[in-house]
Amino acid sequence: MTGFAAIALKVAAFVLGLAFGSFLNVVIFRLPREGLALDRPRRSFCPICAAPIGWRDNIPVLSWLLLKGRCRSCHSRVSWRYPLVELVAAFLSLFVFQVEGLTVRYFLTLYFLLCLTAVAFIDLEHLIIPDGLVIPTIVWGVILAVLDPLPYLVGDNYWFALLDMGWNPRLIGLVGAAFSFILGFGILFLTGFLYQRVRGRVGLGDGDPPLMGLIGVYLGWMAVFPVLFLSSVLALLSVGVLALTGRGTEEGPIALRPVPFGPFLALAALIWSFFGPAIFAWYFNLFA
Ligand SMILES: [Zn+2]
């Protein structure tokens, strides 16, 4: 492939990501709100003045910059979350394209990462993780594991050992995905259950165990413990920073308020899906 064609494809992946990000903003805004569906109303509208948003004010990132982050009709502020989500989606699309090329796996991996992004922003704002987002993504992940099974789901050694025993690769993929789901879901479910028993209050949201199961299905069971560890560290650091800077004081001390865990799980899974192998290699080299 010539240099020009390669660059054109990367630009296309980035622009496609911007378009996905624009749709992701619709998902993040509408999914957790009563009375709104993804296709109803058909046109996007300003949440403050309800004016419909024309196509030229709906161009990812660009429109937000040109309108200086304000609504054309009522001039109320439009959250920086909109261009941020669009840029995140664009870079995710570009990165996944560089790893996978234009394949089915590009679309399904990107779907997984965009789902994590939506979950993170919805949980941050509403303290819920919508089943309507997580469950279909789990189902797609299991289908992907059967259609295009890869060793990482069960680990290289187990993969070849099972193949030697005459297992069908698709069956290994299915078992790997199921085991990874049960491990991810089970650990957080048990943690939440025990916390509630010991402390007498809810420590984890209902949506966290399925989200961890989802992450297991896409990243494999060996990613479950590192992602849990990484997300806990990120959550503790954030709570610490918020407490030190006094940001938690408006609605009472941060330590007494529910903290959404979904965004940290999502961020840890995102980091792991790009840097997991490198982190694994670094960790094992420490002891080599
Ligand atoms: Zn408006």
CA 70 / ligand 1 centre spacing (Å): 8
Q: Which amino acid is at 151?
A: P
Q: Do 20 and 150 share a domain, yes or no? A: no
Domain count, the chain: 2
CA 122 / ligand 1 centre spacing (Å): 22
Q: Do 178 and 67 share a domain, yes or no? A: no
CA 77 / ligand 1 centre spacing (Å): 8
Pick the last residue of a domain from 50, 69, 102: 102
Residue % of the chain over a pLDDT of 70 = 95
Pick the last residue of a domain from 102, 137, 167: 102
CA 82 / ligand 1 centre spacing (Å): 15
> Alpha-carbon distance 70 to 46, whole Å?
10
- Residue range 255-268: mean pLDDT, rounded: 85
Residue 272 pLDDT > 90, yes or no? yes
- Residue range 37-60: mean pLDDT, rounded: 88
Give the distance from CA 160 to its chain's centroid. Answer: 30
Q: Is 77 helix (H, G, I), strand (E, B) or coil?
A: strand
Residue % of the chain over a pLDDT of 90 = 65
Tokens found for residue 10: 């990367």
Q: Do 128 and 251 share a domain, yes or no? A: yes
Confidence of residue 251 (pLDDT cuts 50, 70, 90): low
Q: Do 219 and 256 share a domain, yes or no? A: yes
Residue by residue, DSSP assigns 260-288 as -SHHHHHHHHHHHHHHHHHHHHHHHHHT-
Q: Do 122 and 66 share a domain, yes or no? A: no
Residue 65 pLDDT > 60, yes or no? yes
CA 141 / ligand 1 centre spacing (Å): 39
Q: Do 142 and 9 share a domain, yes or no? A: no
CA 59 / ligand 1 centre spacing (Å): 16
**What are 89-109's pLDDT values in tens digits?**
999 999 999 999 988 889 999
Q: Is 120 helix (H, G, I), strand (E, B) or coil?
A: helix
Confidence of residue 133 (pLDDT cuts 50, 70, 90): very high
Pick the last residue of a domain from 74, 102, 130: 102
Among the listed residues 20, 3, 2, the one whose alpha carbon sits nearest the alpha carbon of residue 94: 20
In sequence order, the β-bridge partners of residue 40 are: 37
Tokens found for residue 36: 């709104």
Confidence of residue 255 (pLDDT cuts 50, 70, 90): low
Tokens found for residue 23: 């749709």
CA 66 / ligand 1 centre spacing (Å): 15
CA 142 / ligand 1 centre spacing (Å): 42
What's the whole-model pTM score? Answer: 0.89
**What are 192-233's pLDDT values in tens digits?**
999 889 988 887 888 999 999 999 999 999 999 999 999 999
Q: Do 177 and 230 share a domain, yes or no? A: yes
The answer to whether the beta carbons of residues 148 and 104 sit under 8 Å apart is: yes
pLDDT given for residue 270 in this prediction: 95
Q: Do 88 and 223 share a domain, yes or no? A: no
Q: Do 281 and 185 share a domain, yes or no? A: yes
CA 48 / ligand 1 centre spacing (Å): 5
**Domain membership of residue 252 as a residue range:** 104-288
> Alpha-carbon distance 209 to 193, whole Å?
11
Mean pLDDT of the chain: 90
> Alpha-carbon distance 97 to 258, whole Å?
37
Provide the Cα torsion 258, 262, 263, 268; round to 10°: 130
115 CB-near residues (< 8 Å, 6+ apart): 133, 134, 137, 214
> Alpha-carbon distance 99 to 113, whole Å?
14
Q: Do 96 and 168 share a domain, yes or no? A: no
Give the distance from CA 26 to its chain's centroid. Answer: 16
pLDDT given for residue 256 in this prediction: 58
Q: Do 127 and 46 share a domain, yes or no? A: no
> Alpha-carbon distance 144 to 177, whole Å?
9
CA 263 / ligand 1 centre spacing (Å): 28
Q: Do 204 and 169 share a domain, yes or no? A: yes
Residue 136 pLDDT > 80, yes or no? yes
Residue 247 pLDDT > 80, yes or no? no
Residue 11 pLDDT > 80, yes or no? yes
The answer to whether the beta carbons of residues 6 and 108 sit under 8 Å apart is: no
CA 76 / ligand 1 centre spacing (Å): 6
